[in-house]
A = this chain, B = another copy of it.
């Protein structure tokens, strides 16, 4: 008799059948009683090129039905460790980016007030700013592990100060993130200026380009990241699927060649184990460009691995 919510098993209902909640977990309205709330944020109007990530939460849930409850490599058992539930989507206002930013922040205020951690399913990367704003009220400045092809530290885009390409500039300026405990991994390709990646560096952010990752395990990097952050500091993980190479994650809005491999992505998330992870998001999956569903499936697995790295997750001997 399980203590916590359990995913609907493949022997009770075929995986292609039944309601497609995240990991086939029970759904509920609001986060009351949950240790971890899975939240969809179907916003894509902060996007500068291809849209479609508004369908990210639905499609990632649909593909998450293949994820089983135990991590084979980590031997982690998140659903034996936490009460996890799927609390649905934030009712964003799809006609106004400005209003949606506020709606998201208030939604997270309530979830956090209920005592749950959030693991969020985007949506475009703009969603991370209001989430960090809500987290800041509870945790103060957080450490940040940021996987991405892009630094997202533009000052403005088309005159706007909040878009999917400016959020970490805002987050640092607003003191939501401690740049001395921020690491960006996977940055690459082309920029608006040769110093695009330098603004963050100048504030103490550790920038690890994709080139620095090629051909090798990121376990050593993550060891250094853990040391840099320390075990008590609250840490947030923001994982833009375009940090990974387009070959493994084609279904995204602003793909850039030469990115991280899936093993590297997994090592980053698994490498958070031992840190005080207080929240996470997985963003920028765009289903119209995910012709096989495999980008969404990868995203679902990365979210599962994130659950496995939350502090307190049991690991079987």
Q: A residues near B, CB below 8 A?
A: 9-21, 27, 40, 42, 44-52, 54-55, 57-58, 62, 65-73, 75, 77, 88-98, 156-160, 162-163, 187-197, 209-211, 214-217, 245-248, 250-251, 254-259, 262-263, 266, 288-289, 291-294, 297-298, 301-302, 304, 316
Contacts and interface: CB of A to CB of B under 8 A. Distances in A.
A75 B195 CA distance: 8
Contacts of A51: 44, 51-52, 54
B292 A291 contact: yes
Given A196-B70, A289-B288, A246 B248 contact: yes
Given A215-B217, A291-B292, 14 more contacts: A11-B159, A15-B49, A16-B58, A45-B45, A45-B94, A49-B65, A52-B52, A70-B190, A72-B194, A73-B211, A95-B162, A214-B217, A247-B262, A256-B301
Query: By CB atoms of chain B within 10 A, which of A14, A71, A95, A211 has the most?
Result: A95
A162 B96 CA distance: 11
Contacts of A77: 194
A288 B292 CA distance: 9
A293 B192 CA distance: 22
B72 A17 contact: no
A17 B45 contact: no
Contacts of A190: 67-72, 301, 304
A144 to B, nearest CB: 20
Given A190-B304, A246-B248, A16 B294 contact: no
